[in-house]
Chains A and B, each alone.
Chain A
Amino acid sequence: MELVYFLIEAAVKVVAVFSVLMLVVAYLTLAERKILGHIQVRYGPNRVGPFGLFQPIADGIKVFFKEEVIPAKADKPLFVIAPMISIVAALSLFAVIPFGDKIEIFGRTVTLTIADLDIGLLYIFGIASLGEYGIVLGGWSGYNKYGLIGALRAAAQMISYEVALGLSVMGVLMISGTLNLVEIVHKQAGGHWNVLYQPFAFIFYLVCALAEINRTPFDMPEADAELACGFNIEYSSMKFALFFMGEYAHLIAVCAIATTLFLGGWHGPFLPPSLSWIWFVVKTGILVYFCIWERGTFPRLRYDQIMKLGWKVLLPLALANIFFTGLIMVLV
């Protein structure tokens, strides 16, 4: 009986997270356009529904009915599978993210996380890098030189930043002593947010995360000005939309992970434990806003400069951070 309850609970949670996430991804595109519009002294979408609220739906319908073009010389299986990898990897990340404290439903204690894995963090790093395969394969299989360059850039960028990203959260691991994300959040209770003990790691994480999800100023694989959209140049219709959704889901995921690791997860004053997930949403939202904001501000870096930043600046700094964290832990 317990197993049936467990399965029902898991299924409900998966469906809930998936549908809410899809909705958030859709409205994140609207939010991005609205916020950028505000930064750029213009309105943003405001024609479809009040305040343009139905714009994502209109976009979805439009994209869905677009003609789907697959280049004649494309490697078809890979071409079709690439966008799927991209979005599946991005969505799978949410399996281990704790959204809130335990809540009681029908007399049953439910944790607000789909899977409470002991190796949650390792899982995240494993899955997150899989998402890059979508980009690499998508760029390569389309038989387009711009796509190929985009794919190569994506591959190089992934390798460089994965390392620094992993090392930047090492400090958090050392403090918490666990890879379980729920545990990490619990350890931050009472205002002992990791960002206070690991401020540099937080900054490194944010920079690496931006590079990891290919956002400005690190949007090398896409680089619309020089590569004319790079890896997704040959994609159209829903396949293009899948890349797009994958990218935004990934953006939310890295912000949610940052909240979990550094900003105390669902912890916050004023709210009862059953509503603690609101804090999680607020913190993640602020980070997402930051990602949109910096897109409106920064130019794009050059490919070789990104490599230099990754290997010559962020990697040594992240290593130094680990060293000093260890030193302080030993001394104190």
Chain B
Amino acid sequence: MWDLEVAPKKLKEQFPDAILDVSSFQGEMTIVVKKEDILPICRFFYDDPDLAFDYLTDICGVDYPGREKRFEVVYHLYSMKRNKRLRIKASVGEAEAISTVESVWKAANWLEREVYDMLGVSFDGHSDLRRILTWEGYDGHPLRKDFPLRGEDFGHYEIPTELPDVVPTLPDEVEGERYMTLNMGPQHPATHGVLRLVLRLDGEVIADAVPYMGHLHRGVEKLAENMTYHQALVLTDRLDYTAGISNNLAYILAVEKLVGIEVPKRAQYIRVMLAEMQRLAAHLLWLATHALDMGAMTVLFYTFRERETVLDILEHVTGARLTPSFLRVGGLAADLPDGIEEKIKAFLDDFPRRIHEYETLLTKNIIWLKRTKDVGIISAEEVINWGLTGPVLRGSGVKWDVRKAFPYSSYDEFDFEIPIGEKGDVYDRYMVRLEEMRQSARIIRQALDRLPDGEVNCYDPKVAPPEKELVGKEINALIRHFKLMSEGISPPPGEVYASTENPKGELGWYLMSDGSNHPYRYHIRTPSFVNLAALPEMIKGHLVADVVAVIGSIDIVLGEIDR
């Protein structure tokens, strides 16, 4: 069994005085290093054949206003070979800059831009250090702790007389050649939300593409840092609004990891079942819009018919179709209602026939093949270097899934396959998602058949209120109830990263607790954000019509890109 302890040891040999601290919390190792050495250290971790941290999962920043070096940049690395995660931290002062790791992982490009935008940490040598979620010329950095939360705290606001160039576009003339700049979005039927793409066109061929986002930025991370842990749950539904329960699950898993509790088997199975139902709903919506973008509109109505059934079931269980917020720290809001098994079984019996129906319209349709085959190809190495996850990763032939790599919520007890593609084109991603729907249906059936009896909540005093009867009788139960209801839960100080396999890819939460009842840092690693970064690479040299196909095949949701 390979041990992660090797990593700091090897690092110490290579860089004797770079390591400032090595710690472990809930099985996650954190190495604090000097910021001057961050690039060579990352390069070392990436290159070393024994460690092979080929995957940059996330970069985020944390603000400590009291410290001498105010900011901490947190890198989450992952080694596919060793199936281990590693967290590296480096402190940066307010006037200082840290070296970019873009040369190691391309994924760093957008992630570092986000840190720069949100905290004002500057990155040395970054190829394109611009704001990403707020607009160019925005005043301040929202995730700094001294940035006001409410509008009334901002003080008087003067509209600047001279607006900065908030809508920069690409120049039409490059090295003597003339191009046409086409502004696609933010209001466009096929960008799946308020994504703005500035395309530089040579005829209809795309010479360059620059995405702009943030039109839907709501400051979720800032809001959550001022909420209790349970209050922050409702923000998660609204990230990837096509898969509310999946988001709930990722966040709740992070909180449970932070508190250190295990939920009962029955709750785990129901969570799996609901998350897979939600995956079906999300994939059905994806198929509908993807096909519609290509002009096949009938598929939309067929998939919405099944999505309706899925949402009906979810509504029956959770009481909501779009934003369930049904999971709780330590379990679920409620057990399954009566009569839901028959409903789900009826749906599962019907579903394979329905998928076949979609396939008859698309899979071997010559026009569909012409539109999707060999379009938007991204190779396995590229896909890993860009940090892409989910069906995009698997479409390129990398057999990796969080459900298999880090089985959460008892996923290891279910029998399912990970479908992969070969080339990594739009068609492969389409086939992967179709097969995933079949596998999801399999998982739901297994969960339903083997659903254990028992409670759906763990009654750990740290997170769960006492029984209602006791509250009326015993003073200590009353106090506990009151404390939990009014203050919420207070996890021990520490930091965790937990992730799930969302319909769109790996959705991860980096939660940091300072022991109080609200998270000190609540960072979301959203799959759409990371996946979208590779879009310009994928569409260069293709035609305008392919942009729509590729965006559809990446399957983005602006709610979670912009947060």
Contact = CB atoms under 8 A, between A and B. Distances in A.
B301 interface: yes
Interface string A200-229: 000000000000000011010001111110
Interface string B289-313: 0011111111011100100000000
Contacts of B188: 228
A302 B295 contact: no
Interface stretch (A75-83, A116-124, A158-166, A291-299): A291-299
Given A40-B298, A217-B295, A226-B190, A302 B546 contact: yes
A302 B367 CA distance: 9
B302 A299 contact: no
B215 interface: no
Contact of B295 (A36, A145, A146, A219): A219
A302 B371 contact: yes
B370 A298 contact: no
B293 A225 contact: yes
Given A225-B292, A225-B294, A298 B189 contact: no
A300 B295 contact: yes
Given A42-B301, A149-B204, A296-B297, A302 B292 contact: no
A297 B370 CA distance: 15
Given A228-B189, A298-B365, A40 B296 contact: no
Contacts of B361: 297
A40 B361 CA distance: 12
Given A40-B297, A296-B298, A302 B370 contact: yes
A299 B293 CA distance: 9
Contact of A304 (B295, B302, B543): B543
B545 interface: yes
Contacts of A305: 370-371
A297 B547 CA distance: 22
Given A228-B188, A299-B291, A223 B298 contact: no
Contacts of A299: 291, 294-296, 362, 365, 367-368, 371
Interface in B362-398: 362, 365, 367-368, 370-371
A299 B430 CA distance: 15
Given A228-B189, A299-B371, A305-B370, A216 B295 contact: yes
Contacts of B204: 149, 303-304
A267 B367 CA distance: 36
Nearest to B182: A145
Given A41-B302, A225-B548, A226-B548, A300 B367 contact: yes
A34 to B, nearest CB: 14
B302 A40 contact: yes
A39 interface: yes
Given A149-B204, A225-B190, A226-B190, A298 B295 contact: yes
B544 interface: yes
B180 interface: yes
Contact of B189 (A40, A41, A224, A302): A224
A217 B367 contact: yes
Contact of A226 (B183, B365, B368, B547): B547
19 contacts: A36-B298, A40-B300, A40-B301, A146-B182, A219-B295, A225-B190, A226-B293, A226-B544, A226-B547, A226-B548, A228-B189, A228-B190, A297-B298, A298-B295, A299-B291, A299-B294, A299-B371, A300-B294, A300-B371
Given A40-B301, A226-B293, A226-B545, 4 more contacts: A145-B183, A299-B362, A302-B371, A305-B371
